[in-house]
């Protein structure tokens, strides 16, 4: 039988289909989530994305046979994909929620958490705004809380202009959004249930932020929104401010009536004086996926170089206590034979 061009094309397509099998789940023998593809899938926080992207680029330069896919669908989105078996590593700008832990436990999914940096959520205004230098936590709450009646700068401070404020924030899947809301607005309060409705599900807690905020999952979109609007205010991770210092201006946060306003910086984030908006940054690694050679190699490289990678991403590196905890978690994950992380060495 003569080997035709059509037969060759069909064979080539079949080979491509075989190569496409596997991916970033926790399977260990090919197929969806198998290890044969040499692919590591990371998704989650747009804040931690910058660190994981730095890890991806550096790792692939010395391990070209491994493909690392890094996406940023928000911390909540990353956990959602993770629980569906689509992701090996979640980038998280907050800790896992109780319901996420419960869903993972119900599916028999175990994970290990590592700290990969420290951040300060940065409140910014337009660079041409010469009025707003600092805001108290109470003013921030008054501005962002659900049902807020603040419409103008004058509503926040009688000495400020009577001009309408426009607000920008990450979307509801973002860990930055959730951390900011809890730190500034407060934890959601449960709704009183109807005592007569015994068999009805309990009402969800009310929380979040006010209506009328322009939200985006893309931090660069938020930066552009504030940079192009003289009466805008928004918030996002410190690295996105640091990369746009000429376009937006940070607002110092005053945490208490007797406290001094504090600007976010590498120093104030590291010493935790930038309160209440300083926070750790994490990756969550699925334990079953961590046994795959490519995931183990990528994780090892990430943790060995995490101090530099955090700085490359625009954030403060993990503290010595963070590094010690990382090493203990790594040893627990891989056993006593787990190599010591280079970053944790004195």
Helices marked H in the chain — which ranges?
5-20, 49-62, 74-83, 98-106, 137-144, 153-156, 175-180, 219-227, 238-242, 266-270, 287-290, 293-304, 306-313, 320-334
Considering the chain, tell me which residue range(s) the CATH 3.40.190.10 domain(s) occupy. 8-119+280-344, 122-188+206-276
pLDDT band for position 336 (cuts 50, 70, 90): low
Angle, to 10 degrees, between the axis of helix 74-83 and the axis of helix 98-106?
Answer: 10
Instruction: Check residue 188 and give its pLDDT.
Output: 62
What fold does the segment set 122-188+206-276 form as a domain? D-Maltodextrin-Binding Protein; domain 2 (3.40.190)
- Round to whole Å and give the CA distance between 144 and 88: 35
Strands (DSSP E) contained in 121-206 are 122-126, 134-136, 166-170
Strand order in the sheet with 248-250: 214-216, 166-170, 232-236, 122-126, 248-250
Q: Which residues of 112-130 are buried (b: 16+ CB within 10 A; e: fewer)?
A: bbbbbbbbbbbbbbbeebe
Cis peptide bond N-terminal to 276, omega within 30: yes
Query: Which residues have a Cβ under 8 Å from the Cβ of 316 and sit 6 or more positions away?
Result: 117, 118, 119, 266, 269, 270, 310
Q: What is the pLDDT of residues 230-275, one digit of tens each?
A: 999 999 999 999 999 999 999 999 999 899 999 999 999 999 999 9
Its pTM stands at: 0.80
Q: Could you read off the pLDDT of 160-197 as tens digits, one per residue?
A: 999 999 999 999 999 999 999 999 999 765 444 444 44
Tens digits of residue pLDDT in 306-318: 999 999 999 999 9
- Least reliable range by pLDDT among 41-50, 176-185, 203-212, 237-246: 203-212
Q: What is the pLDDT of residue 18?
A: 36
For helices 320-334 and 306-313, give the axis angle rounded to 10 degrees: 120
**Six-digit token pair at 250?**
């940070």
Tokens of 149: 């009646």
- Is the pLDDT at 219 greater than 50? The verdict is yes
* Neighbour tally for 206: CB within 10 Å: 11
What are the structure tokens assigned to 102, written together? 């419960």
DSSP-derived 3-state class of residue 119: strand
Give percent of the chain above pLDDT 70.
80
Q: Are 281 and 119 in contact (CB under 8 A)?
A: yes
- Give the C-alpha separation, 110 to 172, whole Å: 25
Q: Between 19 and 104, whose confidence is greater?
A: 104
Q: Looking at 5-19, 114-128, 224-238, 310-324, which range is the least confident one?
A: 5-19
Residue 8: per-residue pLDDT = 41
Q: Which CATH superfamily is domain 8-119+280-344 in?
A: Periplasmic binding protein-like II (3.40.190.10)
Per-residue pLDDT, 338: 55
Model pLDDT, residue 202: 37
Token pair for residue 181? 């809301």
């Amino acid at each position: 039988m003569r080997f035709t061009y059509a037969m060759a094309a069909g064979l080539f397509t079949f080979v491509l289909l075989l190569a496409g099998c596997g991916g970033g789940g926790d399977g260990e023998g090919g197929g969806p989530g198998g290890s044969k593809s040499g692919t590591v899938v990371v998704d989650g926080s747009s804040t931690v994305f910058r660190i994981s992207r730095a890890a991806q680029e550096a790792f692939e330069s010395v391990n070209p046979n491994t493909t690392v896919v890094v996406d940023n669908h928000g911390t909540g989105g990353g956990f959602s994909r993770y629980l569906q078996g689509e992701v090996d590593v979640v980038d998280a700008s907050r800790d896992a929620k109780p319901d996420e832990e419960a869903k993972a436990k119900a599916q028999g999914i175990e994970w290990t958490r590592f700290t990969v940096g420290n951040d300060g959520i940065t409140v910014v205004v337009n660079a041409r705004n010469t009025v707003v230098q600092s805001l108290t936590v109470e003013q921030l709450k008054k501005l962002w809380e659900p049902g807020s009646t603040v419409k103008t700068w004058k509503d926040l401070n009688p000495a400020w202009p009577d001009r309408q404020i426009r607000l920008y924030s990450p979307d509801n899947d973002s860990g930055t959004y959730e951390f900011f809301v809890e730190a500034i607005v407060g934890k959601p309060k449960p709704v009183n249930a109807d005592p007569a409705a015994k068999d009805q599900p309990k009402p969800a807690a009310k929380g979040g932020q006010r209506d009328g905020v322009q939200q985006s999952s893309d931090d660069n979109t938020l930066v552009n929104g504030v940079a192009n609007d003289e009466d805008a205010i928004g918030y996002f991770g410190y690295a996105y401010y640091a990369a746009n210092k000429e376009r937006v201006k940070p607002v110092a946060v005053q945490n208490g009536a007797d406290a001094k306003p504090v600007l976010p910086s590498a120093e104030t984030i590291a010493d935790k004086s930038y309160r209440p908006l300083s926070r750790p940054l994490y990756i969550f690694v699925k334990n079953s996926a961590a046994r795959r050679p490519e995931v183990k190699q990528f994780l090892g490289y990430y943790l060995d170089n995490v101090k530099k990678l955090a700085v490359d991403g625009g954030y403060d590196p993990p503290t010595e206590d963070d590094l010690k905890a990382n090493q203990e978690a790594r040893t627990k994950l891989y056993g006593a034979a787990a190599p010591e992380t280079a970053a944790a060495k004195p």
